[in-house]
Every structure is written in C-alpha cells, then in structure tokens.
Chains A and B, each alone.
Chain A
Amino acid sequence: MASLRRILVRLIELVLTVLVIATINFMLVHAAPGDPAAVMAGQSGATDERFLNQVRAEYGLDKPYIVQLGTYLNKVIHLDLGYSFRQRRDVSGLILERLGPTLLLTLSALVVSVLGGILFGAVAGLRNGRWSDTLISMVALLFYATPVFWLGLMLVLVFSIQLEWLPAFGYASIRAATFTTWEYIVDVAQHLVLPVVSLAAIYMAVYTRLMRASIIEVSHEDHVKTARAKGLTEGRILRKHMLRNAAIPVVTFAGLQAGAMIGGAVVVETVFSWPGLGRLTFEAVTQRDYPILLGLFLVMSVLVIAVNFLTDIICGLIDPRIAAR
C-alpha cells in the first residue's frame, strides 16, 4: 500500500490544485465580456434582475477583488459550487448525480487501455522487428491520430447501424426498469462497450508504444540475461522477470494521462449520450450555463488527483520498492 508520505504529498497537491483552479475560475469570470454577476448566474441575454442582485450580494461583487476571491474560495471549500438558474438546481447536486456513470466509463477505459497497452506492447517488443511488431506499431500510430469523437461515431456506424450488435447510445435500455439485477448489469455492460473502446483506443496506442520500448529495454538487462542463461522458458522469463519492471512506466504514465482521459470523456459521452459529467459539460456548453462549467472543471480536476492516487497504489503493488520509498 501507499506510504503515509505519499498520501500526504497527494493531499498537499489536492489543496494546491483546488486553490489554483478556484483562482482560474475566479479570473475567468472577471475576464469574461460583460457583467461578472451575469456569468455567475449563468445567463447571457434575458436576465432576471432580482436573481442578479442576489448573486451580487452572495459573492460580494461590489467588494474589492481579494475579498471576492476569499468569498469564492470559502464557498468552494464548503462544497458550494453555486446555483444553476437554468436547471433551478444546486450545481454540486447536479454534478454528484452524474458522477457514477463517468467513473464507470473512465475507470473501465483506464483499465482496458493499460491492460491492452501492456499486452500489445509486450508482444510487439518481444517480436521486435518482425511483421507482428510492424503491424501492432502501425495500428497504434493510426489510433493515436484518430479523433476520439470520430472513432466513436465510426464504431456506431459499424457495430450499431450496420451489424446491429451493440446499442448506439444511452446508459441502459428503456425497458431496464423491468429487468432483473443480472439482466440490468448485462444491459449496462452492452451499452458500455462502444464508449469504452472509443475512449481507450488512443491511450492504448500510447501505452503500447511505451510498453514496447520498455520491454526492449528490460530485455537487455542483466537479470533477464541471467534468467535466460539458467535455461528458463521464455514465458516464465516474461512473467517473472520482465513484465513487472516493464509495466511500471506504463502505469505511471497512465496516471499522468488521467486528466486527458477525463477530457476525452466529454466528447465520448456527447457522442453516446452517456449520462455522466461529460454529457453535462456538453449540455452546459450549449446552454452557456457557466456555473455548471466552473463547477465541473473543479470536480474533474479533483477526480484526476484521485486517479493519480490510485495509480500510486497500483505502482506500489506492482513494485513493492516504490511503496517502501
């Protein structure tokens, strides 16, 4: 498990990040063209003067900037992310109810991309220079250049419209209310396949390339040569002596990519009408509902740090020397 020091480091990072993001949010509200109160209220054009005055009073918008920033930070620390006038709801409540589907989507994509990357990268690295290596590297290059949302649409075109194998959008079928628990799980899993593949593909490509380089490097190390000299089978050498060492950079890098992956979830959820934070982002963008956007930015950043913490723990499990540090 992760040591106390690691936990402390991540906690400090969490506090600093929340501070920086709240400050960025605050600066953006004031950099926006027009009245900051209108931005906080989330409306451009038709405005309810009473509500605007309420917002002005609540955030102290007539006070000096530094006091306003203090008021805003205080609210954020107390998990008050403002009020969406359009949805007539608290932003934190709206975000909370969309959290589950996004966690399901991004964590599945994270696991699929890391495992797939390790698998294909190991195969390519072990067959360095042969046709299977060339093929894997070329496919990786292709996926690395594919826009995530377009890949999603193409998967829908092939697997939902042409072949009719998998559902094209949503989280569960309309009839889901009549399902037993097991049927419901299968149903959600079927809806999950295409979004996860679209989101995972680009990262799987990155991790494949990383794992390939990593395996090639590890295979030249002394302990692997020793294992080979002892006459161990190639499979055993790979499992016992190479895989763990080679996977560490991949998992570490996957943690660093968490932010990008959550960003990718925005377009994937838009394509697949997946009812998570990404879809909420798209809805907030089309309605120019700024309080929701500002809140989402904060919550998604906190999620990234949580994923980083998770990869810390996983790295510690793969290589106990890291946890002991």
Chain B
Amino acid sequence: MRDVIKAFFNRPTGWIGITLLALVCLMAVLAPVVYPTSPWEMTGPPFARPGDAGMVLGADTLGRDIASGVMHGARVSLLIGIASTLAALLIGVTLGCIAGYFGGWVDTVIVRFTEIFQTIPNFVLAILLVAILTPSIATIILAIGIVSWPPLARLTRAQVMTVSTREFVQAARCQGQSTASIVLRHVLPNAISPIIVAGSLTVATAILIEAALSFLGLGDPNFMSWGFMIGSGRTVIRQAWWMSVFPGLAILLTVIAINLVGEALNDALNPRISRA
C-alpha cells in the first residue's frame, strides 16, 4: 500500500491531479460557507462584468452571481459523477463477474448484450431516459449509470477470466467454498485494480455527460449546475462571454484533475501494463 502511494506521488500527474481535485472538492465543501445565499438568487445587476458590483466572475442575465454558481455547481457535478459511477460499477462488475466466472452460454448472452449496449449512442439514450422519466438528481444518476456500465463489464469479465484459472482459486474450489465466496473473496480482490482505474476515469466521463444533459436543459431544476449555466449563457455570448467561459473552465479543470489522478493510479497500481 505504501509503495502504491509512493508510486502515485512519484509522477507529476499524480500530485498535480490530486491538488486540482482537492481544489474542486474544497469548492464543493466551502460553497455554502462562502456563498450562503442560494445561487438562484438575484444578488446584483444583470450582465454585471467580472469584478463589477463585488462579483468576481460577474453576473448572469438575471443578476445571479457566476462565482456562486460555479462553487455550488461543483457539488452537483461531483455528486452525480461519483454516484452514477457507483451505479455503473454495480451493474458492470456484477455482469462481468457472472460472465467471466461461469463462461459458456451465460457468458455469450451477457457479451452480446454488452456489445449491443456499446453500439447504442449512449448519450442519446441518456437524453431519452432523463426526458421521459422527468429530470431530477436521481433520474440523471440512473441514466448515466445505465449508459456507462458496458466498458466496466467487459474489463471485469476479462479480469475475472484470467484470475479464475489461477491455482488459489482452484484450491478454494476444491475446499468446497460456495461460488459467491470464491468470487467475492478470492477472484474479485485480485482482479480489482484495473477496475478501480477504469472506475475513476468513468467519473470524468459521467461529469461530462451530466454537463451536456444540463446544457440541453435536462438538469435537476433545483440544483445549479455548470452545464445549465453554459446553456443559459450561450444565447448572449456575443455580449457576455463570462457567463459561459467560467463554468466551462470549471468542468475542464475537474475532468483534467480526475483523468490525471486516474492515469497516476494506473501507473501506481498496474506497473506492468502501464506505459513505460
């Protein structure tokens, strides 16, 4: 474990990524402290430029503080990114374990199903799910989870297949341990590290999907989000660039941070298969 942490921070990607990510998390935690009033409240003149009327990043078309929106938006982005990744992991790892461990026709059916799900334009399915089930935090998490599991299932299946042939798994089988116990206690723990890496990168794509959904007006109407801010600022970009520039920078920063952390995790956890 200590080696892993050391290897993680040994590369610049590791500490740069973790610093940026800490910054975003700090924004999410401190949002209600720094900006106690709701980010939906009008707190200044509409179209205030950055720096005007005490608003560092300016105001939007209705006089709402952009800086407040950016900080509060971090909460929604991180929440949805992590929760929908957990949902995707639940579906993907379960299906991948079943397919990889049992093989045979079960495997064939799950692989075919996964392949079909991978060809489907997943963002369009997410739009359809959220639009029909009405937008809310829960339906957005569900929709992103449903469209994000296939790569995780394929990875888990491949990992489980290789680990299952190892001697210690055969030994556990000979001891007469139950299938569930073999998979959960012997196979999965030894197959998990690439899955952790893939999961961390899924958080980044989930955040991008959430931003695109709320950009199209499919965000939860009760929570300020970065995608919504860009979507509502886009029609006035000619007069007011700041309304769409700053929330976009926030998304960019968060996604880069997560990708860097994922890459460094990969180098630290899977030293053999990572790039030299």
Closest to A305 in B: B119
B128 contacts A304, C-beta separation under 8 Å: no
B7 to chain A, nearest CB (A): 20
B230 contacts A153, C-beta separation under 8 Å: yes
Q: Is A166 an interface residue (CB 8 A)?
A: no
With the chains together, A273 CA to B128 CA distance in Å? Answer: 20
Residues of A contacting B244 with CB < 8 Å? 150, 153
Q: Is B131 an interface residue (CB 8 A)?
A: yes
Residues of B contacting A281 with CB < 8 Å? 124, 127
B252 contacts A290, C-beta separation under 8 Å: no
Q: Is A142 an interface residue (CB 8 A)?
A: yes
Q: Is B9 an interface residue (CB 8 A)?
A: no
Within 8 A of B (CB), among A248-263: 256, 258-260, 262-263
Interface residues on B, range: 35 or more
B220 to chain A, nearest CB (A): 15
Q: Mark B119-134, 1 if CB is under 8 A from A, else 0.
A: 1111111011101111
Quick one: which of A33, A260, A267, A290 contacts B131, CB cutoff 8 A? A290
Task: Decide yes or no: A157 and B216 within 8 Å by CB, A28-B132, A147-B252 being known contacts.
Answer: no
Q: Is A293 an interface residue (CB 8 A)?
A: yes
Residues of B contacting A32 with CB < 8 Å? 132-133
Residues of A contacting B191 with CB < 8 Å? none
Q: Mark A298-309, 1 if CB is under 8 A from B, else 0.
A: 001100110010
Interface size on A, residues (CB 8 A): 54
Within 8 A of B (CB), among A141-173: 141-142, 144-150, 153-154, 156-157, 161
A154 contacts B216, C-beta separation under 8 Å: no
Task: Decide yes or no: A308 and B119 within 8 Å by CB, A153-B230, A294-B128 being known contacts.
Answer: yes
Q: Is A264 an interface residue (CB 8 A)?
A: yes
Residues of B contacting A267 with CB < 8 Å? 212, 215-216
Q: Looking at the complex, which of B27-35, B58-66, B234-242 is the stretch in contact with chain A?
A: B234-242
Residues of A contacting B260 with CB < 8 Å? 141
Quick one: which of A157, A260, A263 contacts B241, CB cutoff 8 A? A157
B14 to chain A, nearest CB (A): 14
Q: Mark A269-291, 1 if CB is under 8 A from B, else 0.
A: 01100000000011001101010
* Chain A contact residues, CB within 8 Å of chain B: 13, 16-17, 20-21, 24-25, 28-29, 31-33, 39, 141-142, 144-150, 153-154, 156-157, 161, 213, 256, 258-260, 262-264, 266-267, 270-271, 281-282, 285-286, 288, 290, 293-294, 296-297, 300-301, 304-305, 308
* Chain B contact residues, CB within 8 Å of chain A: 112, 115-116, 118-125, 127-129, 131-134, 204, 208, 211-212, 215-218, 227, 230-231, 234, 237-238, 241, 244-245, 248, 251-252, 255-256, 259-260, 275
Sample of 28 A–B contacts (CB below 8 Å): A13-B115, A16-B112, A17-B116, A20-B116, A20-B120, A28-B132, A32-B133, A39-B132, A142-B252, A142-B256, A144-B259, A148-B212, A149-B212, A150-B248, A156-B237, A161-B238, A259-B121, A262-B121, A266-B212, A266-B216, A271-B234, A281-B124, A285-B127, A285-B217, A290-B132, A297-B124, A300-B124, A301-B120
